[in-house]
Amino acid sequence: MKALRKYVDSVKPNFQEGGKFSWLRSTFGAFETFLFTPNEVNKGGVHVRDAVDLKRTIIVVVLALIPALLMGMYNTGYQHFRALGQAAEFGDMFLYGFLQVLPMLIVSYVVGLGIEFAVAQMRGHEVNEGFLATGMLIPLIMPADVPLWMVGLATAFAVILAKEVFGGTGMNIWNPALIARAFLFFAYPSKMSGDSVWYGAEKAVDGFSGATALSNANATGATGFDFMDCVYGLIPGSIGETSVIAIAIGAVLMLCTGVASAKTMISVFVGGALTAYLFNIGGATGMGSLCWCEHLVIGGFCFGAVFMATDPVTSPRTECGKYIYGFLIGAMAIIIRVLNPGYPEGMMLAILLMNTFAPLIDSIIVGRNISRRKNRVKQQAK
Amino acid sequence: MSEVIKLKRGLDIRLAGKSETIYTQVAPSEQFAICPADFKGLTPKMVAKVGDKVNAGDVLFVDKQHPEVLFVSPVSGELAAVNRGERRVILEVVVKADGVATTRDFGKEDVKSLSRDQVINKLLKTGAWTYFKQRPYNVVADPWGPIRSIFVSTFDTAPLAPDFDFIIAGNEANFQAGLDVLAKVAPTFVGVRSESANNAFAQAKGVTVTSFAGKHPAGCVGVQINHVQPINAGEKVLTIGVQEVVAIGKLFSTGVMDFARVAVVCGSEVKKPTYVRTTLGSQLTNILKDNIASDNVRVISGNVLTGTQVESNGYLRYYDSQVTVIPEGNEYEFLGWAMPGLNKFSNHKTFLSWLTGSKTYKLDTNMHGEHRAFVVSGELDAVLPMDIYPEFLFKAIMAQDIDKMIELGIYEVVEEDIALCEFVCTSKLNLQKILRNGLDLMAKEVG
């Protein structure tokens, strides 16, 4: 590794102030710090620091997404051959899905990182690592058949308007990946939902329905799928969202490493289950009659609860606030599913809505701390 | 003793290089220095001139705003140099010892027969007043006006910190005498470690004793104040260290200022960690002589969280009783973010080292990352056992919103209380510096 370090040191001056490529300073810095943790030492404050940094944290999130990604690839192939009415080997199914999903992943990363690098360069900042997770999340919450240009457009929209205009990683109000999905959802609704967007429906055999569990439930009050298939993830849906097991592996990794907040995650499930249960006992029909446990395993509920709701930047920053936030996301997702016939899926909108209210939740909790302090002064004055 | 206040939040950084409770003899230093930077908000005004003969206890410089606050020489000798930095700021006032211990006698006095003003005047006259730090702002105490209370923490939970139970041995009576003096100035509170074996602390008389248990920063006096009697706007609270209390006790019982201090020399780069008997402001050369294991090291007066970086021929800073030597971390690490991290200390569980139990770590000064905006939430709260939302406070300071700072409790914290927040911060923000900027702004705008 010494040789590599030497090489990096030898080309470094070109990228620094006054060098030939100084306009690529941020880009060089991003690659350099990716290869080598910087040699920068603490000055002025603490002399030692925790070994963790944002790269480490984000990498754990990316790792946690891998099971959902792999399962999504397999399921894409599985659904494809099911639609065509053909039998296929495991390898063929995975390969088909792999070739379908990989370009989306590449487009998302190239477009997103391209914008991140350009913006960092313009501002003279370092490139933030936040997009490494976002870039993975964006394809995972899209249907596998979505055109690549739409992936690129949505990514660009999300990175520029949901993130960089606010100041980059750590400053955004809404989860950028969900903004990407919401953008396509409202701009190109026919490509994002309905029965025909999944897995090459135009070539499908007669009698095949591409309907998702959610749209079935919306129409008939039943998912139309075996419960265990929903858990394994062998149902139509966005790439990463279908397999509860794959998502659970990611959840365990993120909770064990403390990267995601267990408070938020559990509260989402509690909120969702309780609300669905209330609809059940209230005698609601249609989507409302769906058992609470089915609600939790279909659509984007699990994926949203594990990977989207727990985004620390767009969640409340207070520990107590996380319970309220999570609970309301779960409750809101089910309410939108049941009461809004136009949108069979409520998770995306529920999380974006609660992202908006996260600062308000914090403000109330911190406000209680402030009034405690004021009361203390009053009591002493007495 | 009353109940124990158990603090759940906090973190003990398990550094290698802890000293056994033993003393090692070291040759006395030849040079001593008082560094005005140790006193926040101080503008020093020199009184003695370079070349002047001084006795131990003679004035070197005074506080320009409060000329009655004297900073005195810890040894007798000659004022050798006034080292200045940028814009002629005084960095060090160096006294070369003459080896003859001529000390000024201020007269024995029974504190019971003195009035509060007489006590304060004596503390001012002898230079002992500078042992107090004032909250809010952690500045040299203003002697005039009401003082709500005085707090003494009798234990230090910082990494490799000295054990005051050990240091105090033999000086128990002087400690109590010192507390009697403090109690004359203002109601005094003593924080003790719940498992402290030393009766001088737990059974201190004339003061309110509170017992604490928990990880660092349980020993930080600010945390103790927050749990006993939080500081409100407009109140003034003084804090003072154990050895300084002993010195004040000796001053009143013998009439002579005692500048002797015990310091612990520790850290992974110290060959033989040990306690040494030394003097306030002592040069470190003799203390560290033949005791440093390698060249690429950082010498810190104080602990690794709040201490001051000094040269190996630098000086023991005013309020410190610890010298830590750790490796300098100015090296690159290949794919540092991707390794399993069994040998890395972290309060976050993304490194597998959390599975390896309670081994100690040789930490270096590397930042392990770059500055970022706040992203990870909850990590700062987890190491601050106070009823304060640190992240919101820091954001208020960054926005220079004075009203918000007051509402969020800036009066209750100083740098050492939140040093652990800076340690665990994933975004590598300089939180102590941010807080200092906030405190300075407050001192300027609110006073």
Dihedral, CA of residue B410, residue B413, residue B418 and residue B419, to nearest 10: 120
Test the B interface: residue of A7, A40, A52 with most B CBs within 10 Å: A52
Q: Quick check: B374 contacting A, CB < 8 Å?
A: yes
Task: Identify the pLDDT of residue A121.
Answer: 84
Are A38 and B329 in contact (CB < 8 Å)? no
pLDDT at B383 over 90: yes
Are B423 and A48 in contact (CB < 8 Å)? yes
Top pLDDT among B413 and A299 is at B413
Phi/psi for A284 (5° steps) reads -70, 150
Q: Quick check: B8 contacting A, CB < 8 Å?
A: no
Q: Quick check: B394 contacting A, CB < 8 Å?
A: no
**Residue B9: band (very low, low, confident or very high) from pLDDT cuts 50, 70, 90:** very high
Looking at chain A, which residue has its C-alpha nearest residue B423?
A49
Q: What percent of chain B has pLDDT over 90?
A: 76
Are B332 and A171 in contact (CB < 8 Å)? no
**Residue A213: band (very low, low, confident or very high) from pLDDT cuts 50, 70, 90:** confident
Mean pLDDT of chain B: 91
pLDDT in tens, B297-333: 999 999 999 999 999 999 999 999 999 999 998 888 8
Beta bridge partners of B209: B190
DSSP B254-292: HSB---EEEEEEESTTBSS-EEEEEETTBBSHHHHTT-B
**Residue B430: band (very low, low, confident or very high) from pLDDT cuts 50, 70, 90:** very high
The most distant pair of C-alpha atoms in chain B lies apart, rounded to whole Å, by 68
Smallest CA-to-CA distance from A78 within A64, A92, A60, A99 is with: A92
Tell me which chain A residues have a C-beta less than 8 angstroms from the C-beta of B384. Answer: none
Helix (H) or strand (E) holding B214: strand B208-214
Q: Quick check: B401 contacting A, CB < 8 Å?
A: no
Q: Quick check: B325 contacting A, CB < 8 Å?
A: no
pLDDT at A197 over 70: no
Q: What is the ipTM of this complex?
A: 0.91
Mind telling me how many Å the CA of B440 is from chain A's nearest CA?
Answer: 16
Tell me which chain B residues have a C-beta less than 8 angstroms from the C-beta of A374. Answer: 407
Residue A49 in tokens: 């620091």
Which residue in the set A36, A47, A60 is minimally distant from B350, CB to CB?
Answer: A60
Interface of B with A in 245-284 (CB under 8 A): none
Tell me which chain A residues have a C-beta less than 8 angstroms from the C-beta of B407. Answer: 370, 373-374
Are A54 and B381 in contact (CB < 8 Å)? no
Tell me which chain A residues have a C-beta less than 8 angstroms from the C-beta of B148. Answer: none
Test the A interface: residue of B375, B401, B416, B431 with most A CBs within 10 Å: B375
pLDDT in tens, B80-138: 999 999 999 999 999 999 887 777 888 888 888 999 999 999 999 999 999 999 999 99
Give the lowest-confidence range in A19-28, A222-231, B31-40, B148-157. A19-28
Looking at chain A, which residue has its C-alpha nearest residue B329?
A41
Smallest CA-to-CA distance from A96 within A117, A80, A114 is with: A80
Test the B interface: residue of A1, A6, A53 with most B CBs within 10 Å: A53
Task: Identify the pLDDT of residue B325.
Answer: 95
Task: Identify the pLDDT of residue A88.
Answer: 84
Beta bridge partners of B33: B94
**What ranges do the domains of chain B cover?**
31-97, 367-445
Distance separating alpha carbons of residues B62 and B73, to the nearest angstrom: 12
Q: Quick check: B388 contacting A, CB < 8 Å?
A: yes
pLDDT at A177 over 70: yes
Are A317 and B377 in contact (CB < 8 Å)? yes
Distance separating alpha carbons of residues B155 and B218, to the nearest angstrom: 9
Which residue in the set B369, B387, B409 is minimally distant from A53, CB to CB?
Answer: B369
Which residue in the set A42, A57, A319 is minimally distant from B350, CB to CB?
Answer: A57
pLDDT at A207 over 90: no
CA dist B157 → B135, B194, B327 (Å): 20, 12, 22
Distance separating alpha carbons of residues A156 and A108, to the nearest angstrom: 9
Tell me which chain A residues have a C-beta less than 8 angstroms from the C-beta of B368. Answer: 37, 49-53
CB contacts < 8 A (A, B): 206
Are B347 and A50 in contact (CB < 8 Å)? yes
Distance separating alpha carbons of residues B267 and B293, to the nearest angstrom: 10
pLDDT in tens, A277-321: 999 898 777 788 888 888 899 888 999 999 999 999 999 999 999
Task: Identify the pLDDT of residue B5.
Answer: 92
Are A259 and B350 in contact (CB < 8 Å)? yes
Mind telling me how many Å the CA of A317 is from chain B's nearest CA?
Answer: 5
Which residue in the set A54, A128, A373 is minimally distant from B426, CB to CB?
Answer: A54
| Structural domains in chain A plus CATH codes | 7-35 (no CATH), 56-362 (1.10.3430)
**Residue A27: band (very low, low, confident or very high) from pLDDT cuts 50, 70, 90:** confident
Tell me which chain B residues have a C-beta less than 8 angstroms from the C-beta of A313. Answer: 375
Are A37 and B336 in contact (CB < 8 Å)? yes
Task: Identify the pLDDT of residue A223.
Answer: 79
Are B432 and A50 in contact (CB < 8 Å)? no
**pTM score over 0.80:** yes
**Residue B225: band (very low, low, confident or very high) from pLDDT cuts 50, 70, 90:** very high
Mind telling me how many Å the CA of B290 is from chain A's nearest CA?
Answer: 23
Mind telling me how many Å the CA of A89 is from chain B's nearest CA?
Answer: 35
Tell me which chain A residues have a C-beta less than 8 angstroms from the C-beta of B349. Answer: 256-258
Tell me which chain B residues have a C-beta less than 8 angstroms from the C-beta of A362. Answer: 392
Dihedral, CA of residue A218, residue A222, residue A225 and residue A231, to nearest 10: 90
Are A37 and B337 in contact (CB < 8 Å)? yes
Task: Identify the pLDDT of residue B200.
Answer: 82
Interface of B with A in 213-232 (CB under 8 A): 230, 232
3-class SS of residue B100? coil
Phi/psi for A89 (5° steps) reads -75, 160
Task: Identify the pLDDT of residue A218.
Answer: 77
Test the A interface: residue of B368, B405, B435 with most A CBs within 10 Å: B368
**Residue A201: band (very low, low, confident or very high) from pLDDT cuts 50, 70, 90:** low
Most confident listed range (A186-195, B271-280, B355-364): B271-280
Mean pLDDT of chain A: 87
Contacts of A265 by beta carbon, 8 Å cutoff, 6+ apart: A251, A255, A305, A306, A309, A310, A326
Helix (H) or strand (E) holding A215: helix A213-220
User: CA B364, B366, B372: angle at the middle one, nearest 5?
Assistant: 145
Tell me which chain A residues have a C-beta less than 8 angstroms from the C-beta of B369. Answer: 37-38, 49, 52-56
Distance separating alpha carbons of residues A216 and A228, to the nearest angstrom: 17
Looking at chain A, which residue has its C-alpha nearest residue B346?
A50
pLDDT at A87 over 90: no
Task: Identify the pLDDT of residue B102.
Answer: 76
Mind telling me how many Å the CA of A197 is from chain B's nearest CA?
Answer: 36
Task: Identify the pLDDT of residue A212.
Answer: 80
Looking at chain A, which residue has its C-alpha nearest residue B388?
A369
Distance separating alpha carbons of residues B362 and B268, to the nearest angstrom: 6
Place of tokens 């993975």: A136
Alpha helix stretches (DSSP H) within B83-149: 116-126
CATH of B31-97, one of 3.40.50, 2.40.50, 2.70.50, 2.40.160: 2.40.50
Q: Quick check: B426 contacting A, CB < 8 Å?
A: yes
**Within a 10 A sphere around the Cβ of B402, how many other Cβ atoms?**
16
Interface of B with A in 142-171 (CB under 8 A): 159
Helix (H) or strand (E) holding A322: helix A319-339
Top pLDDT among A48 and A289 is at A48
Looking at chain B, which residue has its C-alpha nearest residue A171?
B373
**Residue A195: band (very low, low, confident or very high) from pLDDT cuts 50, 70, 90:** low
Distance separating alpha carbons of residues B327 and B329, to the nearest angstrom: 6
pLDDT at A199 over 60: no
Are B370 and A5 in contact (CB < 8 Å)? no
Mind telling me how many Å the CA of A53 is from chain B's nearest CA?
Answer: 5
Residue A98 in tokens: 């792999």
Q: Quick check: B187 contacting A, CB < 8 Å?
A: no
pLDDT at B227 over 70: yes
pLDDT in tens, B127-157: 999 999 999 999 999 998 899 999 999 999 9
pLDDT at A160 over 60: yes
